[in-house]
Structure 1
Amino acid sequence: MKLTVNLGADSYPIYIENHILEHALTYISKIFSGKRIMIISDDQVYPRYGSALKANLEAQYECFHLELPHGETTKNFKTLPVLYSAMLDAGISRSDLVIALGGGVIGDLAGFAAASYLRGVKLAQIPTSLLAQVDSSVGGKVAVDLPQGKNLVGAFYQPSLVLIDPSVLDTLDTRFVNDGMGEVIKYGCIKDRELFDLLASYSSFEDLKPRLAEIIGRCVDIKRCVVEKDQFDTGERMLLNFGHTLAHAIEQFHHYERESHGEAVSIGMYQISLLAEQENLTRPGTADQILKVLDIYGLPHSCGIPLTELTEAMTRDKKNLNNKLNLILLNEIGVSRIYPASVDFFHSDRIV
């Protein structure tokens, strides 16, 4: 499957195909005619896929790699000098290419390094987690975390190419498959009732797996359409953040060491829908429908944190515009909207 994100001069192709990673050179050579490539990956992904990718590309390019510790705690400001130094040592110039090979952490971190090094070098995304394949590798959001919150330093920097190989997901731990399913469910919630019902019709991820490439394609296509309408996240693109205002606060509360991103998003989608139902802002029963699908894919709906302890982080959320907390609420499954609110929306003695 080939999709194209149409953004004028910043347009780029997305290829989705099992085992496409084995033929990376064919696709990289279509968008890159320079000399040097820096592959940025982590210590779980590179040993599995990096050496083969590098060997494949060395038929035409001079290749270097940097292997970072895995996990969200790597995606911080202090890691950036490590990336810049590696690129300088490799002689990477503005006519060269950075490849982000990994999950969302590597995609965000390597993407931000590519955007800022020498004021921008060409970037290719090769996502290896389900979450990165359906969401973070597409759309050009790149960032690092600060102690005060997630993704608070970043940029919009579109890749030149995205290669999505669903077959690499066979090696993922169950938790990280589930993690990605949190974002898949999000797409059904905000834009695609038919996708949501399809997810609800299976009994587990293993049951769903034969249709995984198709489902990834549906999610990516939704994101492609939204990004084309709102590249810089000031309007419709904010719908992609359903559940995220609460999720980012939950992740930060435990210093990114307990709930994964997809788990936190799952909690956020369910809990915010419950709150919205109580205020008659969402159709009754919506949260219960979300809960049933979360249960199918082994995702949590609560985390045991008092809501009042999460509000400070929410006030620093990037989606705040004009002193309003721009929440994403569902009218019903498949239909979402932006709801400007104050943090008072979350003033409750509830434990989420």
Structure 2
Amino acid sequence: MIKMSINLGERSYPIYIATNYADIGKSIASARLSGKMVLITDTNVDMHQADECINALKESGYDVHKYVIAAGEENKNLDTVNEIYRYLVKQKLERNSVLIALGGGVVGDITGFVAATFLRGINFVQVPTTLIAQADSSVGGKVGVDFEGSKNIIGAFYQPRLVYINVNSLKTLPKREVQAGLAEVVKHGIIKDRDFFDYVEYNLNKIFEFKEDVLQFTARANCSIKGSVVEEDEREGGLRAILNFGHTIGHAVESVSGFQLLHGECVSIGMVGAFKMAQHLGMVDAKESDRVIGLLERIGLPTGIKGMDVDKVFAQMYHDKKIKNNKLVFILPKRIGEVLQISIDDTALIKEVLQELAQ
């Protein structure tokens, strides 16, 4: 088992990268968590992962209650949060209680938000089971829900007490979920680590074959890249904004699609849009753009929005959190491995890029 840490002073926490759930109880004990435990998962993960995880916890002497929510981004809302609150009140949870998020980004975001707000804050543990959650959303403390069609518009910064990654949980995923998760993996290479981008490009087939050593290296690299950013800028005052690469357009596409497209699929489209915009601004070489688009296509991710209403996407972008002084904030690439944050008020340029994505 690999152990690494996110260093945030009194909010620091470990990340464990394993190949099963055998050590999850020992990991929780190391964090000195001992209150009542509720494992929150969704209907998909419950079928494939919950029993194994709960049995491992019971073997370590923990009494764990389970609460299952309906799977899907459309359920990441305050109604679901309220249902969980009612359950926790019924279970008489206390300040030292622990919520365990077993699932993908939706489960992690909801559970973290509930933990941040219930009794003014209780402990929670991230156990991500999707590639997108293992690569990105389980680390860093961003938690929240969607509201009236706007993505993650209600939320908080609230760090978990630990993250436990079982890379073999990825074997239970549909291929489309793995492909979507790889968008965030590619993103990390683009924003901060060209060598990691090269690694993913070279080892893509091994990732799809679920080679344990490759999955563990990938998880460690992702957590290291994201962790280094979060350690420097926990609450997105500056550097952390680079993690939003591909998200300014991506979140709008996700909302306009009615969440029929997966988050990673939308980030893929957003990254292509960012490269197109950077090319228009003379920031990035066309060869770099072609290489990124080529990798996304090899993965099987969408790279455009053909058939989608461009005007709706444009309008939705202005309902996003990434706006400053009525200007959209984009993270744009200079090259693979380096990006910049830029505010853009040239609406004609933004619409031109969206039109190109729609072709």
What TM-score range do you get, normalising by the shorter chain? over 0.9
Please name the residue that 1:181 is paired with.
Answer: 182
- Comparing 240-249 with 266-275, greater Cα deviation is found at 266-275
- Comparing 271-280 with 173-182, greater Cα deviation is found at 271-280
Amino acid at match of 1:247: G
Note the alpha carbon deviations across 1:219-260, whole angstroms, 9 max, x for none: 110000000000001211110111011110011002112x10
Cα shift at 1:208: 7.4
CA distance in 2, matches of 1:28, 1:323: 44
State yes or no: 1:330 paired with 2:341.
no
The share of aligned pairs that are identical, in percent, is: 36
Contact 1:243/1:328, CA 8 A, preserved across alignment = yes
Please name the residue that 1:82 is paired with.
Answer: 83
Please name the residue that 1:44 is paired with.
Answer: 44
- Comparing 23-32 with 136-145, greater Cα deviation is found at 23-32
SS in 1 for 2:159: coil
Please name the residue that 2:350 is paired with.
Answer: 346
Please name the residue that 1:27 is paired with.
Answer: 27
Please name the residue that 1:190 is paired with.
Answer: 191
In structure 2, relative to structure 1, the CA distance for the partners of 1:340 and 1:22 (3 Å cut) is: same
Cα shift at 1:56: 2.9
Please name the residue that 2:295 is paired with.
Answer: 293
Please name the residue that 1:151 is paired with.
Answer: 152
Cα shift at 1:343: 5.9
Amino acid at match of 2:140: G
The number of equivalent residue pairs is 350
Cα shift at 1:207: 5.7
CA distance in 1, matches of 2:209, 2:24: 29
In structure 2, relative to structure 1, the CA distance for the partners of 1:176 and 1:275 (3 Å cut) is: same
In structure 2, relative to structure 1, the CA distance for the partners of 1:81 and 1:207 (3 Å cut) is: closer
Amino acid at match of 1:226: V
Contact 2:331/2:340, CA 8 A, preserved across alignment = yes
Unaligned runs of 5+ in 1: none
Contact 2:171/2:210, CA 8 A, preserved across alignment = no
In structure 2, relative to structure 1, the CA distance for the partners of 1:87 and 1:311 (3 Å cut) is: same
- Comparing 103-112 with 48-57, greater Cα deviation is found at 48-57
Amino acid at match of 2:321: K
Cα shift at 1:306: 4.5
Cα shift at 1:286: 2.3
CA distance in 2, matches of 1:330, 1:230: 20
Contact 1:32/1:97, CA 8 A, preserved across alignment = no
State yes or no: 1:72 paired with 2:73.
yes
Please name the residue that 1:214 is paired with.
Answer: 217
CA distance in 2, matches of 1:103, 1:185: 18
Cα shift at 1:274: 1.2
SS in 1 for 2:283: coil
Note the alpha carbon deviations across 1:298-331, whole angstroms, 9 max, x for none: 1111121243321221112212233332100000
Note the alpha carbon deviations across 1:324-350, whole angstroms, 9 max, x for none: 321000001111111111261412244
CA distance in 2, matches of 1:207, 1:295: 18
In structure 2, relative to structure 1, the CA distance for the partners of 1:208 and 1:45 (3 Å cut) is: closer
CA RMSD of superposed structures (Å) = 1.6
SS in 2 for 1:22: coil
State yes or no: 1:253 paired with 2:256.
yes
In structure 2, relative to structure 1, the CA distance for the partners of 1:322 and 1:77 (3 Å cut) is: same
Cα shift at 1:121: 0.4
Please name the residue that 1:281 is paired with.
Answer: 283
Cα shift at 1:295: 1.8
CA distance in 2, matches of 1:268, 1:125: 27
Please name the residue that 2:116 is paired with.
Answer: 115
The 5 Å alignment of 1:202-241 reads: 202=203, 204=205, 205-206=207-208, 209=211, 210-241=213-244
Amino acid at match of 2:153: L
In structure 2, relative to structure 1, the CA distance for the partners of 1:33 and 1:180 (3 Å cut) is: closer
CA distance in 1, matches of 2:258, 2:99: 29
CA distance in 2, matches of 1:86, 1:22: 28
Amino acid at match of 2:312: E
Contact 1:40/1:101, CA 8 A, preserved across alignment = yes
Contact 1:202/1:208, CA 8 A, preserved across alignment = no
SS in 2 for 1:32: coil
Residue of structure 2 aligned with 1:311, choices 298, 314, 318: 314
Cα shift at 1:203: 5.6
CA distance in 2, matches of 1:202, 1:24: 28
Cα shift at 1:44: 1.2
Please name the residue that 1:142 is paired with.
Answer: 143
